Amino acid sequence: MSQWKPRTFLAQALGKIDPESRAIVPPIHVSTTYQRDEDNQYRSGNVYGRADNETVREAEAIIAQLEGGAAAMVLGSGMSAAVAVFSTLSPGDHVIAPRVMYWALRNWLATEGVRHGLEVTFVDAADTSAVAAALRPGRTKLVWLETPSNPLWEISDIAAIVIVAHAAGARVAVDSTCATPLLTRPLELGADIVMHAATKYLNGHSDVIAGALVTAKIDDTWASLQRIRASHGMILGPFEAYLLIRGMRTLDLRVRAACASALELVKRLEKHAHVAAVLYPGLPSHPQHALACAQMQGGFGGMLSIRAKGGVEHAIATAARVRLWKRATSLGGVESLIEHRASIEGAGSPCPPDLLRLSVGVEDVDDLYADLDAALNGAG
Ligand SMILES: *Cc1c(COP(=O)(O)O)cnc(C)c1O
């Protein structure tokens, strides 16, 4: 289905039909083991469920197609996908990661990653020259990017960073969870690996924890990632893989709706009397709006943050007053979520205390704005 647009091949989950039953929706393969051939071979390619599952492969084929990659793998969570990538490195290897990034992964790098011998430098990844300055040719093995970055929605210039990183012998991996494969395709910009918290937009219904990795080419690192997933038991379960496939059927529709509503909301919020700042790459006031326009196609995502004019108390009170928006962490689901982000990130976070992170779902945008407006005004 490579000639079709994402919206088309997503709707049909690549058009796969079950060869035996002719079912339009293929069955969920739950078997943990597979029969050997009589001559002691495993011609099916399936041996044991910790490495082999057909439902998992169907999800992977869709994600590989979305990112234009050579192959994809799905794992038990976004965190396990990211940790698998760092597990391909050796003690003493140097990695560069953004100062502003998904908080749980930043914590993992600074604690477990360092404990396993990684040397980690956190840089302002919105500044390509800061990444270039942190590179240690021969020692830096990986540059990790997240764009737009949580929860300030800064943009990293993937193509420019790939050039300096590759020149220094480092690979580039991009957490593209918030961009989704519809708005940014990091592999086309030269990145080596793309990571998704499939928990978020790919599944889109807040009912599956899953992660995904996509590689530009089948190489030693990819073989190492496959061994790590199998030996560490990180594969996604078949039911979750099925739900992920079902969720992805509407990915294009959901992401387009979220992008359109987010853009409408930020335009209104920028003029709001009780909002000090609106952080969203689609706004001309965003410091990297031009880069976002060049790097993101068809929208700027469904994630935005606002800073409450009345400070931290006003931010927390606003989150307490919403009725339609749900007060919860996570993002990328069909229901809109609001979160006082500093409360979950804790000490050492670069997140300002007056910041509310908003994940825009697919509800009616006027309803979403009215609820937020009332909560900001204190009339919720
Ligand atoms: C949620 C998230 C993760 C982690 O994914 P899990 O599935 O929760 O483990 C990583 N990166 C980003 C940007 C996320 O939003």
The 10s digit of each residue's pLDDT in 236-270 is 999 999 999 999 999 999 999 999 999 999 999 99
- In this structure, what token pair is assigned to residue 377? 């005004």
Q: Using a 6 Å cutoff on CB, does residue 209 contact ligand 1?
A: yes
Give the mean model confidence (pLDDT) for residues 73-93.
98
In a domain, 47, yes or no: yes
Residue 189 has pLDDT above 90, yes or no: yes
CA 74–ligand 1 middle distance (angstroms): 13
Q: Is the CB of 212 under 6 A from ligand 1?
A: no
Whether the model pTM is above 0.85: yes
Structure tokens at 32: 């943990």
Query: Which of 248, 263, 283 is where one domain is finished?
Result: 248
Ligand 1, residue 331: give the atom nearest the CA.
15
Ligand 1 pocket, residue 79 CB under 6 Å: yes
Domain count, the chain: 2
Shortest-distance Cα residue to atom 8 of ligand 1: 78
Q: 290 and 156 share a domain?
A: no
**Residue 106 and residue 75 share a domain:** yes
Active site residues: 50, 102, 175, 200
Instruction: Please indicate, yes or no, whether residues 54 and 122 belong to a single structural domain of this protein.
Output: yes
d(CA 214, CA 187): 9
pLDDT in tens, 103-127: 999 999 999 999 999 999 999 999 9
Q: CA geometry: angle at 116 spanning 114 and 121, to 5°?
A: 30
**Final residue belonging to a domain, choices 229, 248, 267:** 248
Closest CA to ligand 1's atom 11: 102
Is-contact 207 27, C-beta < 8 A? no
Say how many Å lie between the CA of residue 154 and the centre of ligand 1: 17
Distance 102 CA to ligand 1 centre (A): 7
**Å from CA of 199 to ligand 1 middle:** 7
Domain enclosing residue 105, as ranges = 6-248
Distance between Cα 321 and ligand 1 center (Å):
27
Looking at the fold, whether 224 and 368 belong to one and the same domain comes out as no
- Does 197 share its domain with 323? no
| Distance from residue 200's CA to the centre of ligand 1 (Å) | 7
C-beta of 105 in contact with ligand 1 (< 6 A): yes
Which residue has the least CA distance to atom 7 on ligand 1? Answer: 78
Q: Of 79, 195, 240, which is best to mutate to test ligand 1, by the most ligand atoms within 8 angstroms of its C-beta?
A: 79
> Do 217 and 274 fall within a single domain?
no
Q: How large a percentage of the chain has pLDDT more than 90?
A: 97
Please tell me if the CB atom of residue 177 comes closer than 6 angstroms to any atom of ligand 1.
Answer: yes
Ligand 1 pocket check for 199: Cβ under 6 Å: yes
- 87 Cβ closer than 6 Å to some ligand 1 atom: no
Q: What is the pLDDT of residues 132-185, one digit of tens each?
A: 999 999 999 999 999 999 999 999 999 999 999 999 999 999 999 999 999 999
Are 222 and 361 contained in the same domain? no
Residues 90 and 163 in one domain: yes
User: pLDDT at residue 2 above 80?
Assistant: no
Structural domain includes residue 1:
no
Instruction: Give the per-residue SS3 of the chain.
Output: CCCCCHHHHHHCHHHCCCCCCCCCCCCCCCCCECCCCCCCCCCCCCCECCCCCHHHHHHHHHHHHHHCCCEEEEECCHHHHHHHHHHCCCCCCEEEEECCCCHHHHHHHHHHHHHCCCEEEEECCCCHHHHHHHCCCCCEEEEEEECCCCCCCCCCCHHHHHHHHHHCCCEEEEECCCCHHHHCCHHHHCCCEEEEECCCCCCCCCCCCCEEEEECCCCHHHHHHHHHHHHCCCECCHHHHHHHHHHHCCHHHHHHHHHHHHHHHHHHHHCCCCEEEEECCCCCCCCCHHHHHHHCCCCCCCEEEEEECCHHHHHHHHHHHCCCCEECCCCCCCCCEEEEHHHHHCCCCCCCCCEEEEECCCCCHHHHHHHHHHHHHCCC
What CATH number corresponds to the domain at position 336?
A: 3.90.1150.10
Would 140 be classed as within a structural domain?
yes
Domain assignment present for 191: yes
70 and 95 assigned to the same domain: yes
Of 232, 248, 264, the residue that ends a domain is 248
Cβ(368) – ligand 1 distance below 6 Å: no
pLDDT confidence of residue 347: 79
Ligand 1: which atom is nearest the Cα of residue 197? 5
Half-sphere exposure for 238 (CA within 13 Å, toward CB):
14
Residues 265 and 225 in one domain: no
R_g of the chain, CA atoms, integer Å: 21
In a domain, 60, yes or no: yes
Q: What residue type is 236 in one-letter code?
A: L
Closest CA to 202 of 163, 176, 239, 174: 176
CATH assignment of the domain containing 87: 3.40.640.10
Phi first, then psi: what are they for 115, rounded to 5°? -60, -30
CA 103 – CA 109 distance, rounded (Å)? 10
Q: Are residues 261 and 344 in the same domain?
A: yes
HSE-up (13 A, CA, CB side) for residue 258: 31
Q: How far apart are CA 17 and CA 36, in angstroms?
A: 25
Per-residue pLDDT at 380: 46
How high is the pLDDT of residue 226? Answer: 98
Ligand 1 proximity of 175 Cβ (cutoff 6 Å): yes
Q: How confident is the model at residue 379 (pLDDT cuts 50, 70, 90)?
A: low
Using CA positions, which residue lies closest to atom 2 of ligand 1?
197
Give the pLDDT mean for 37-47. 96
Query: 351 and 311 in one domain?
Result: yes
Q: ∠ CA 349-266-199 to the nearest 5 degrees? A: 55
Rounded CA-CA distance 14/360 in Å is 27
Residue 41 belongs to a domain: yes
